[in-house]
Amino acid sequence: MNVEILMVALLTAMSTSLVGVFLVLRRLSMLTDAISHTVLLGIVIAFMVVGDMTSPFLVIGATVMGVVTVYLIEMLIKTRRVKEDASIGVVFTFLFSISVIIISTRFRHVHLDINMVLLGNLEFVIFDRFQWLFIDVPTSLFIMGLVFVLNITLLGLFYKEMKLVSFDYALAGTLGFSPLIIHYVMMTLVSLTAVAAFNAVGAILVIALMIGPPITALFLTKTLFKTILLTMGIAVFNSVIGYQLSRMMDVTISGMIASVTLLTFVIVMVFARKKGLIGRFVHLRKQKEAIAFATILVHIKNHEDTETAHVELDRETMHAHMQWRKEYLDKLLEKGRKNGYLKIDSGIVGLTEKGESYYRRLSFVKRGVLE
Amino acid sequence: MNHVFKVEDLSVAYDRQPVLWDIDLDIPSGILLGIVGPNGAGKSTLVKTALGLVKPLSGDVRFMGEPYSKVYKKIGYVPQKGSVDWDFPTTVFDVVLMGRYGHIGWLRRVGKKDRQATRDALEKVGMFEYRNRQISELSGGQQQRVFLARALVQDADIYFMDEPFAGVDVKTERAIVGLLKELKANDKTVIVVHHDLNTVKDYFDWLTLLNIKVIAHGPVDEVYTKENVRRTYQADTLMSMEREINV
Amino acid sequence: MFDLGYTLQIVILGTVFLGAISGILGTFVVLRNQALIGDALSHATLPGIMIAYMLTGVRSLQVLLLGAFISALVAMFALNTIKKYTTIKFDASMALILSGFFGVGQVFLSQIQKTGGASQAGLSRFILGQAATMLRRDVYFIVIVALVVLLLLIVFWKELKLYIFDENFYKASGLSERFISGLLTMMVTFIIVIGIRLVGVILMSALIIAPPVAARQLSNRFYLNVGIAGFIGAVSGMTGTYLSATRANLPTGPVIALVLGGVVLLALLASPRNGIVKRYVQIRIFRSRIKRYRKLIHLYENPGEVNLDSKEYTYFINHDYVKVEDGALRVTSKGMKRIRSIKAVD
């Protein structure tokens, strides 16, 4: 196990998912798709200016380009001639193709391989090192560390403001905060984080790292603070497991981390207790059954003590009057009898004491909808 | 009567479509005002413009003689329920607490006083026992109560409410009306965007009939006449001018 | 006109057909506000391509595309499930599916690269596409798929149109929603799958999104939108391919995307109908006129309510827009004309 690679993976996953929480909550997830592609143009342009692949100006240029992308997309939406998602698609493919064209015509010999940029390469991050005084760490680790600290610090300072803007943008404006400033601070952080994550995981997988852990966490939490904590936990879990699996199978680390991210999401989506698929299905079935049972009670109440009671409430023919399948009705009747709500006297279905009181508690009866 | 809220010559347009036209309003303090008009009459836009959320084409909005940015702490806002994401991971308590953020200001933390105000407001709207629920678990009426509580903790002098009765049950509607009357009794000014003509007389003491222009404005007994309502609900405004020209 | 080499002719044939059909189909997708689904699906094809290759060991385009197709369908199914049964927002699930599937694809790719020989080179072409190395039968395949999709569009035109404009009405008409949305998804997946070999997974979205966006600026009629989008797609495909052949190392996909971007920009800025420049000027004029003549319009709408000695009307009286008649201010016919002209800036 290479601790340095794992550290880079961990810091990348934590930094990206941290900003990702807010992107998801603000329904801006697909902006990451745009930003992560267009920062390439920023790198290319900055490189053309400074001519040095290791210059910090590349990071700055790329970050600026990410923010410019957001601005362009918003401008396009504001014209009200192009919808939101179409704006994203138009802007990022345009800017991205410019960068690919520049790279393939002008920089074929330079260390700027498009595949590398798109896919990233965690395996190689340890070779590019940052050395200063007694420090000797991979450059990626250093940069990612800085970005992580910056993200945490800004979030700590502006937690209240970011929460407010994410939940209710308009209210933030009326309470004297400037949502626009907070918005652009967020976008700058997203852009910077995407740029920093570039080396390690590339333009496409960074999206999974940003969005995956937050939407997984959202299945399990009910407050923003817990969502953020759990998001980080999931990010760490995904990186560690992804790293281990990739070493065991000798395949790409970043690809494996993204795959594990997808997998944890799917597992949580299916099994989350309340909001997961199984939980929902069970809930839906219970709800359906409760409504069906209420319908039976209403049917009984409508016909008991009337002249047609012996026909309408005959256990054998009742299903025909209600136009239900017999098996289904029988199942419910049986259940109701077992639980003491219904009684069956010589083939005629009626309510027990308990059934009567349950009927009165039914919300629509109380509100008088049926009376 | 001193005028807490004054609108002069206000016009708002989206592109070249006038949404509000030549609005003049004088709103004295301590009244319960309903703004009523058909869909697309600019009711919400009027509120949003007052709160600085929409930029006007011309005209001026003043609160006690000051622009909004100077007095925002004295103004509470209840937006339409649909304007936020109710699946957001936050609790009832947290949402109401957000109403205090304006008083707390940038960077500073939430204090004891803010939490107490939040608890009081929750009690007032009857939502205290739900304080730890995630907001996604609330019914429409409960959501509206939470929004109302959030406005209450702003401890404002003027309240703007955008369709607070939309999609709520009868019980909640009654509770909200009671609360509005209580606010008024405490000398607050409450301005409510409303769409149900039948309840206007019972709920409000002042009424603004709006359809892009102000059709009528004043005490409800004077304004709420058949003729005024008819004029409001037939587009007798710049819209008709536009139609005239296009034909 | 141009002296096009045989290979270039073949490639152009492919990109023209691809451009046209993606533009046409894209119109449906973009009008349904699902522009980015294409982006997600095209990224999601990667694992399918890799698995198909690993299973068969064949690099035949058709086999790989079958894998891509299945993989995209799985992604679509996942997206629909998340949308239907969870509270996760659609854009977030798209982002995760896009990137997560791509990650899975990369895992397989790295597995193939470890064991495979020279053949693996062809696989990474799917990411950015490589039109120049297309074979003739690959292009014929594209043409056939495009024609089939076109035929399907014509057959189900009425239903698709209704579905896009008014989903609820469509459902209320007793037509099967599942069938039509499934059909649309199938067709989009088809087009993406044949397109990625040419322009790659990333820029495929440009082909689907840009032509309809440009066409939308030029016309409000649906069938014209479809036609214009197809035309823009075809012409951009041709121009892009030709331009990319003029210089060494110019990749086809990005050049096509660039051309498309240029067309969108042009259409947005200069459309005679709603061009941004024209609209900006109009709005400016409108706003300044409104500010200037506000009081005049006020008088026109509230005759008799304006105080006779209101100072604000001096300017209008001096310019004959307003006159004093029977002790009240009246808008003159010149004033009426002015008011009318304000709304009719076009």
- Residue linked to tokens 């057959």: C155
- Same-domain status, A144 and A265: yes
Q: Are B88 and A167 in contact (CB under 8 A)?
A: yes
Q: B89 contacts in A (CB within 8 Å)? A: 25, 218, 221-224, 226-227
Neighbours of chain B (3+ CB pairs under 8 A): A, C
Claim to verify: residue A105 and residue A167 sit in the same structural domain? yes
Whether A104 maps to a domain, the answer reads yes
Give chain A positions within 8 Å (CB) of C254: 96-98, 100-101, 104
State the DSSP string of C68-92.
HHHHHHHHHHHHHHHHHHS---HHH
More confident residue, B16 or C150: C150
Q: What does the pLDDT read at residue B242?
A: 44
Interface of A with B in 130-169 (CB under 8 A): 157-158, 160-161, 163-164, 166-168
Which residue stretches of chain B have pLDDT < 70? Answer: 1, 235-247
Q: Which CATH number does the domain housing residue A83 bear?
A: 1.10.3470.10
Tell whether A236 and A294 lie within a shared domain. no
**Any idea what the CATH number is for the domain that residue A325 is in?**
1.10.10.10
Helices A29-50 and C90-115, interaxial angle, to 10°? 60
| Per-residue pLDDT tens listing for chain A (371 residues) | 788 899 999 999 999 999 999 999 999 999 999 999 999 899 889 988 988 777 788 889 999 999 999 999 999 998 888 999 999 999 999 999 999 898 888 876 665 566 667 777 787 777 777 778 788 888 888 889 999 999 999 999 999 999 999 999 989 988 988 899 999 999 999 999 999 988 788 888 999 999 999 999 999 999 999 999 999 999 999 999 999 999 999 999 999 999 999 999 999 999 998 888 998 888 888 888 888 888 888 888 888 777 777 777 887 778 887 788 888 888 888 888 888 888 887 778 888 888 888 887 776 655 544 43
Q: Residues A225, A305: one domain? A: no
**At A115, phi and psi to the nearest 5?**
-55, -40
**Is A264 within a domain?**
yes
For residues A70 and A35, the answer to whether their CB atoms sit within 8 Å is yes
Give yes or no: residues A239 and A292 share one domain.
no
SS3 state of residue B19: strand
> What structural domains and CATH numbers belong to chain C?
6-274 (1.10.3470.10), 277-343 (no CATH)
CA separation for the pair C91, C88 (Å, rounded)? 9
A215 and A314 assigned to the same domain: no
Res. C17: pLDDT tops 60: yes
Specify whether the CB–CB gap between A193 and A39 falls below 8 A: no
Tokens 């049986």 correspond to what residue? A334
Q: At what angle do helices A277-303 and A353-361 cross, to 10 degrees?
A: 110
- Looking at residue A182, its amino acid is I
Q: Is residue A295 part of a domain?
A: yes
Rounded Cα gap, residues C258 and A223, in angstroms: 44
Residue reference for tokens 């270039």: C8
Spatial contact of A151 and A22, defined as CB atoms under 8 Å apart: no
Amino acid A86: pLDDT: 93
Query: What is the C-alpha separation between A255 and C104, in angstroms, rounded?
Result: 6
C-alpha dihedral sign at A17, A18, A24, A30: negative
Same domain as A268, residue A291? no
pLDDT at C122 over 70: no
Domain membership of residue A51 (yes or no) is yes
Residues A149 and A21 in one domain: yes
* A215 shares its domain with A345: no
Residue type (1 letter), A130: F
Domains of chain B and any CATH numbers: 3-246 (3.40.50.300)
A82, A97, A216, A256: best to mutate for the C interface, most C CBs within 10 A = A97
Q: How confident is the model at residue C3 (pLDDT cuts 50, 70, 90)?
A: low
Fill in the DSSP letter of residue B81.
Answer: G
- SS3 of B89-144: CCEHHHHHHHCCHHHHCCCCCCCHHHHHHHHHHHHHCCCHHHCCCEHHHCCHHHHH
Given A275, A303, A336, which residue is the final one in a domain? A275
Beta strand pairing status for B58-63 and B3-14? antiparallel
Q: Are residues A35 and A130 in the same domain?
A: yes
> Which stretch of DSSP H or E encloses residue A350?
strand A348-351
Size of interface A-B (CB pairs under 8 A): 77
**Cβ burial, residue B186 (10 Å; 0-12/13-18/19+):** exposed
Inside any domain, residue A371: no
Q: State ipTM.
A: 0.87
Query: Does residue A362 belong to any structural domain of this protein?
Result: yes
Chain position carrying tokens 């939040």: B118
Q: What is the dihedral of CA C110, C111, C115, C119, to 10 degrees?
A: -60
C343 and B241 within 8 Å at the Cβ level: the answer is yes
> What is residue B206's three-state secondary structure?
strand
Nearest-10 Cα torsion for C110, C113, C116, C122: 110
- % of chain C surpassing 70 pLDDT: 92
Residue A310 within a domain = yes
C78-116 residue pLDDT tens: 999 999 889 899 999 999 999 999 999 989 988 888 876
A204 lies in the same domain as A290: no
Residue window 267-326, chain A: list those with CB within 8 Å of chain C.
Answer: 269, 275-277, 280-281
Q: Are B3 and B31 in contact (CB under 8 A)?
A: no
Rounded to a whole number, what is the distance in Å from the CA of C283 to chain B's nearest CA? Answer: 6
Buried b (16+ CB within 10 A) or exposed e, B17-52: ebbbbbbebebeebbbbbbbbeeebbbbbbbbbbbb
CA angle C245, C248, C252 (to 5 degrees): 45
Tokens 């060991």 identify what position?
Answer: C57
Domain boundary among A228, A255, A275: A275
Residues in A touching C203 (Cβ below 8 Å):
93, 96-97
- In this prediction, residue B247 carries a pLDDT of 28
Could you tell me if A239 and A356 lie in one domain? no
Say how many domains are in chain A.
2
**Predicted confidence (pLDDT) at residue C304 exceeds the cutoff of 70:** no
Name the domain boundary from A245, A275, A305. Answer: A275
Q: Which domain holds residue A326?
A: 279-366
